[in-house]
Every structure is written in C-alpha cells, then in structure tokens.
C-alpha cells in the first residue's frame, strides 16, 4: 500500500470502543461482563420521536435536503436556544450536522491552521486532541483538578493563552468527570477569549443533564455572533445516539463557510432524522425529567458504592452520567486498575488516561445501566480487591 497522509498518522480513536471490544472478546469466551464503558443512555428513543422519523420515511422524505439543514429544524433550534440559553439567534446562524461530533471536526478545520494553539480540557473528550493532532495544531491542555470539582479554572486558561491561541474548547456538563461550570467561570473565560481574540467552541451535548446545578453557555456573551460556537445535539438527552443528529449556532460568516464543508463532506444530514429532530424539540419534554430522575438515583447509588470500596473515592458529579472515581490509594495506575476490573471483577470501565494524562489515577464509570448491575459491579470490585 502507498504511504498514507501525515494527518492519517496523527488522528486517533476512542478507548471506549477498544475496551468494549476487549469486553466482548471475554463475553465470547463465556465470561459475564457488566458494562460501564460506553457513553450512551440505556433508554430507547421516545416513541413519539421515532414515529416522526418513521412517518417521514413513509411520506417519502428520503431525498437530499439543503446541506445546512431543513428550515423547520433550524427554526425549531432558534426557538430552543431562546428558551434554554436566553438569547434568540438568527436562523442564518444555525447549521444542522449528523451528530455533534462533525460540528467539532468542521469548526476546527474551519478555524485552526497548522501551528496554531488549541486549548482544551484534560481529562477531556478524546476528539478534541485527535482533531488538533490531525490539523497539526499545538495541543494545550488545561488540567481539570479534583480539588476544583473538575471544573475548568479561568486562571489556568489565562496562563496558557499566547499570541498563537486560536481556539478554546469548553465542555460542560463534562465528559469524563461530570463537572458543571459556573456562570462566573463561563463569563470569565468568554471575556479572556474576547480580549485575546480567539474562538470558543462550546460542546454542550449534556446541556439538559444536570443535578442540582444549572447549565450555562459561554455563547451568551456574544450570542454566537462573533467568536463563540455552540454545539448541541439529540444523542444523549433524547436517547438518539444512532440517529446521528446535532446542531451548531455559529457566527453567520462561519456558517456560510461550513455549508461548503458540509457540501463537500456529507451533502446533507439524513432527512427523516431531521423530521424526528423537529418532533424531539417541539414535542413532549417529560421524557427528559423522567430520565434525569432515574439517572439521579443511579448516580447516588454508584457514588455511594464507589466510596465504600477500599482505595476508591468519588465525588458526586453534577451532570452527565459519568462517575469519575479516584483510585490512587489502590496502588494501581488507571490502566492497571481498568484491566484489573475487567479481568478480575468482570466490570468494563475506562481508565482516566483514555481522556488525557491528567486522567491518571481515575476510572470513569458510565452509569447508564440498572441499579441492580451497579450493585453487582460494586460487590464484584470489592471481592476482586480482597
């Protein structure tokens, strides 16, 4: 085979899928595995949303649609942002994408040159570092520390800003720690971006998944008109990971360029999925509070369980559905501990280092599973450590 591109050698995958493959290998050999590795809700897409997608297919809505997205869905997003974020963007600012992830990829391609600096959270979602490497940007990680409840500290950001800083990525509620940033932290970081003239991409995929905390967006400062980009989507709180549907709120100038990226890369997001998205935003929202009530019980159960394991400690996360446990007192590092849990306790979870070097000493448990399985996993882990 001829040589692949430099970028192809730089881009990298996600440990969640690697651990899943290992766990499935053990399952094929007959071992029982409890799954805590994959980041998706354990509920099904609500029926009224699925029905809208199925009806769209039956009504022959199966053709190309505008690259930037269906007007009905873009309009629904305008209303949604006004309702949830407190400002009303223009329709020209809204871009529909197949999931949130392409929003990260395309915004970074549209804003960052090789050699530019990209600031992002560590531990953080692996895509940020992977795409930075692919572009040939310098990766500048801001440590999220347990003593600050894993929130990004504006002072730590400021220390890392240089003339080459081009983009900062924020993620709240956060994967893998479940932290939720405060309004003041968001405002201060948005101000730093303004003063130093760089872009902010705000990954808000868990925006409706908080406990005892309110979600804030840094895009409120300029209403996503100048330098901030809001990314959100349907994957998590509408339980639609497989539908592939997300959206962006961006400065109009960027939206116009992104349209050409979409034309070149995907033509458009699946049409019937977008009709389901309109129903998701406009239809009954009770599903989300029901889901979050169930998640809260699971969160309380896993946090209490993890804290009862010798050598483990875990703070109650304020958002998403991840518990980020400190395992430093077990004497194992994150990767040894994750292997131990899989092989000796039959529990698949992710080493914190899968999310960057500052994840050392931690394990991420996705608690999108049943209370019974959480209890069983805690017991198995305790026994395996005896």
Residue ranges that bind ligand PLP, judged by CB under 6 A: 39, 99-101, 125, 171, 175, 203, 205, 233, 235, 241, 246
What DSSP character marks residue 289? H
Nearer to ligand PLP, 203 or 279 (CB): 203
Is the CB of 108 or the CB of 205 nearer to ligand PLP?
Answer: 205
Residue nearest to ligand PLP (CB): 99
Q: Give me the count of residues in the chain.
A: 386
Tokens of 143: 């440590």
Q: Label the pairing between strands 34-35 and 246-249.
A: unpaired
Measured from the CB atom, the residue of 39 and 218 that comes closer to ligand PLP is: 39
How far apart are CB 382 and ligand PLP at their closest, in Å? Answer: 29
In the bound state with ligand PLP, the residue whose beta carbon lies nearer, of 209 and 301, is: 209
Label residues 47-86 b or e (16+ Cβ within 10 Å = b): eebeebbeebeeeebeeebbbbbbeebbbbbbebbeeebe
3-state helix, strand, coil in the chain (%, to 5): 50, 15, 35
Q: CA dihedral defined by 319, 321, 327, 328, rounded to 10 degrees?
A: -30
**From the CB of 102, what's the least distance to ligand PLP, in Å?**
7
**Distance in Å, CB of 86 to ligand PLP, minimum:** 22
Judged by beta carbon, residue 153 or residue 366, the one nearer ligand PLP is 366
- Min dist CB 105 to ligand PLP, Å, is 10
Q: How far is the CB of 171 from ligand PLP (least distance, A)?
A: 5
Q: Of 195, 245, 185, 192, give the one whose Cα is nearest residue 217.
A: 185
Give yes or no for a contact between 179 and 150, defined as CB atoms under 8 angstroms apart: yes
The partner residues of 34 in beta bridges, in order of sequence, read 347
CB 74 within 8 A of CB 49: no
What values do phi and psi take at 46, rounded to 5? -55, 145
CB of 253 to ligand PLP, least distance (A): 24
Closer to ligand PLP at the Cβ: 205 or 345? 205
Could you give the maximum distance between any two Cα atoms of the chain, in Å? 60
Measured between alpha carbons, how far is 151 from 154 in angstroms, rounded to an integer? 9
CA angle, corner 208, sides to 206 and 210, nearest 5?
85
Q: Which is nearer to ligand PLP, 338 or 378 (CB)?
A: 338
Say whether 116 sits in a helix, a strand or coil: coil
Strand intervals (E) in 84-214: 94-97, 117-122, 138-143, 165-171, 199-203
Closest approach of ligand PLP to the CB of residue 343, in Å? 25
Nearer to ligand PLP among residue 324 and residue 340 (C-beta):
324
The rounded distance, in Å, linking the Cα atoms of 111 and 197 is 12
DSSP state of 298: H
Minimum gap (Å) between residue 179 Cβ and ligand PLP: 12
Q: Which is nearer to ligand PLP, 12 or 162 (CB)?
A: 12
Q: Which is nearer to ligand PLP, 327 or 350 (CB)?
A: 350
CB of 242 to ligand PLP, least distance (A): 9
Q: How far is the CB of 233 from ligand PLP (least distance, A)?
A: 4
């Amino acid at each position: 085979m001829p040589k692949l591109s430099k970028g192809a050698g730089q881009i990298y995958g996600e440990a969640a899928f690697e651990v899943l493959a290992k766990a499935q290998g053990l399952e094929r050999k007959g071992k029982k595995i409890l799954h805590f590795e994959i980041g998706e809700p354990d509920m099904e897409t609500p029926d009224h949303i699925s029905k809208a997608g199925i009806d769209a297919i039956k009504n022959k809505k199966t053709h190309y649609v505008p690259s930037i997205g269906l007007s009905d869905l873009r309009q629904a997003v305008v209303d949604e942002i006004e309702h949830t974020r407190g400002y009303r963007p223009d329709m020209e600012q809204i871009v529909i994408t197949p999931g949130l992830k392409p929003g990260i990829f395309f915004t970074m391609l549209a804003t960052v040159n090789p050699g530019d600096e990209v600031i992002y959270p560590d531990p953080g979602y692996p895509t940020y570092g992977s795409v930075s490497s692919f572009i040939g940007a310098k990766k500048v990680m801001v440590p999220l520390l347990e003593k600050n409840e894993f929130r990004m500290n504006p002072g730590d950001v400021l220390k890392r800003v240089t003339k080459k800083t081009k983009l900062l990525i924020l993620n709240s509620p956060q994967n893998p720690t479940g932290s939720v940033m405060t309004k003041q932290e968001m405002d201060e970081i948005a101000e730093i971006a303004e003063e130093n003239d760089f872009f902010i991409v705000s990954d808000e995929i868990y925006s409706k998944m908080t406990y005892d905390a309110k979600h804030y967006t840094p895009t409120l400062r300029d209403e996503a008109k100048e330098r901030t980009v809001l990314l959100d989507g349907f994957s998590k709180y509408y339980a639609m990971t497989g539908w592939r549907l997300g959206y962006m709120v961006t400065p109009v100038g960027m939206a116009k360029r992104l349209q050409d990226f979409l034309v070149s890369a995907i033509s458009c997001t699946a049409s019937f999925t977008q009709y389901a998205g309109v129903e998701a935003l406009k239809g009954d929202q009770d599903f989300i509070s029901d889901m979050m009530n169930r998640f809260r019980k699971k969160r309380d159960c896993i946090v209490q369980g993890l804290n009862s394991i010798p050598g483990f400690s875990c703070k109650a996360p304020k958002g998403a559905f991840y518990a980020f446990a400190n395992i430093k007192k077990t004497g194992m590092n994150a990767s040894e501990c994750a292997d131990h849990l899989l092989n000796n306790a039959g529990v698949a979870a992710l080493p914190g280092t899968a999310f960057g070097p500052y994840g050392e000493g931690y394990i991420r448990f996705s608690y999108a599973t049943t209370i019974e399985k959480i209890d069983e996993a805690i017991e198995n882990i305790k026994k395996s450590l005896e």
